[in-house]
Structure 1
Amino acid sequence: MTLKVIVFDFDGTLADTYEAFITIANSLSEEFGYKPVDEQEQEKLKNLSARDLIKHSEISPLKIPFVLKRVKSELNHKIKDLEPIKEIPTCVKQLKNKGYTLGIITSNAEDNVISFLQNHELDQFFDFIYTGSTLFGKHKIIKKLLKEKQLLPHEFIYIGDETRDINSAKKSHVKCIGVTWGFNSSEALAKEKPDFLINHPNELITILDNYQYNLLDNLSRVNHLTM
């Protein structure tokens, strides 16, 4: 009973893509018929779930797949200018050195993720990338990953910056760490009750070490009782 695989969301969790997304989304607003976002409104949006954000924008649900496709395409042109979240590279290296298998689940394009990782010499630390085009279907990707990698839920933990990341983890019956340095605010994330909620990448190491210790301690107790 040990934690083996740590999976990260990409946008806002590993990569600092927030400003790029806002810029791209605003540039497409007239074409797709939704409201652009000014600086004052951005903070308010951090408290909204993805579903509430769509309602707030008043965009037609039929247009969402086309908007997402364009956003991914436009983001490809900005990849070279994007930076990792501060301290994330150090954290990723430490986790890899501890023997964990590291992966990424994202609704972004795989080419974008690979380019970003290569630009920052992080590609060597990640074992797999799973992508999906659906906005609310990450739980399906998680379940697919668990099946293909033959993993049990307690061997897997997911790290994300949005309320939909937490909800996807819950639907997949895996543990989730919410991070407050991405899109959603700490208040919005806390409402979804993640297993852990952290404010800085350095906290990941402590959280995961303690979680691993508790799993091993529980296993020791089970073995003792069955002896």
Structure 2
Amino acid sequence: MLSVSSSSNAPSVTPWSCPLSLKSNRGSQRTPDLLNLMKKPAQTKVIVFDFDGVISNSEATAFEILHTADPAFTREEWHKRFEGNVHDTKPNLLAREDFYKQYSPIAVDQPIFEGIADAVVTLAKTFTLTINSSGATELITQFLQKHTLDQHFPIILGFEASTSKVAKLKQTFVELEVTADDCIMVTDTLGDIREATKANVRSIAVTWGFHDIATLRKGNPAAVATGPEQLPELVASLL
């Protein structure tokens, strides 16, 4: 969830701005478990997680970087940008490489939301889990590795794959050989709910991230979770 500019000709973080090598396959990070998944009978039900605001509590750090660049920029203005696709909002406060020059070294140290790790472990026993994020794939992977959750996400799609979450949902359909009806998106923003709807994917809105429940309900999510412990039951009721 970043309010930074992007370039269609150079979608990845430049080496000088980010000390990480963002390795991707069409912008996705594949863990070794994807190969094992392909050898097993297909798990046809998929939970697509947003990352920032759902798993990583990075909002305060990211906003501080943007607010330092423009002290007049408010948190309310920033959150408003996530009512659609944040990559489409103008004006841009920072070039992507400038943002990541500051954020990359501290991304892995952002706090994880209490209870979300347990929810992920529980859901992974029954469903295939993926990540669809506006963030950088390698930073997401490192965070998940730190919290020993990376093995539960065979596909991670960051901004390198596309800045459109609709496009990345469709990529997930193809890679896992599923349909929109087989998927649920878990997200904390109205913009993500709207993009999921464009891909005919139902959403579970979570209230511990960017947007409050009133804003989230504007997108008519299939369900609302007020705590991570509710996710397994809500997902089971929808799939």
TM-score by length of 2: 0.73
Q: How far apart are the structure 1 equivalents of 2:222 and 2:51?
A: 19
Contact 2:84 2:190 (C-alpha < 8 Å) held by counterparts: no
- Distance change in 2, residues 1:82/1:26 (3 Å): same
1:6-155 → structure 2 map (5 Å cutoff): 6-29=47-70, 35-37=72-74, 42=75, 44-45=76-77, 48-50=80-82, 60=91, 63=92, 66-97=94-125, 99-132=126-159, 137-155=164-182
Aligned-pair CA distance for 1:67: 3.2
Q: How far apart are the structure 2 equivalents of 1:95 and 1:205?
A: 6
Contact 1:45 1:53 (C-alpha < 8 Å) held by counterparts: no
CA RMSD for the aligned pairs? 2.6
- Distance change in 2, residues 1:3/1:145 (3 Å): closer
2:230 pairs with 1:203: yes
Larger Rg: 1
1:176-191 → structure 2 map (5 Å cutoff): 176-191=203-218
Residue identity in the other structure for 2:95: V
Partner of 2:12: none
Q: How far apart are the structure 2 equivalents of 1:53 and 1:155?
A: 23
Q: How far apart are the structure 2 equivalents of 1:168 and 1:13?
A: 16
- Distance change in 2, residues 1:28/1:131 (3 Å): same
Aligned-pair CA distance for 1:27: 2.0
Contact 1:49 1:163 (C-alpha < 8 Å) held by counterparts: no
Aligned-pair CA distance for 1:51: 5.8
Q: Which runs of 4+ in 1 moved over 3 A?
A: 44-47, 51-54, 66-69, 133-136
Residue identity in the other structure for 1:198: A
Aligned residues: 195
Gaps of 5+ in 1: 213-227
Residue identity in the other structure for 2:121: K
Residue identity in the other structure for 1:150: E
- Bigger shift: residues 142-151 or 167-176: 142-151
TM-score by length of 1: 0.77
Q: What is the SS of the residue equivalent to 2:70? A: helix
Contact 1:24 1:71 (C-alpha < 8 Å) held by counterparts: yes
Percent identity over the alignment is: 25
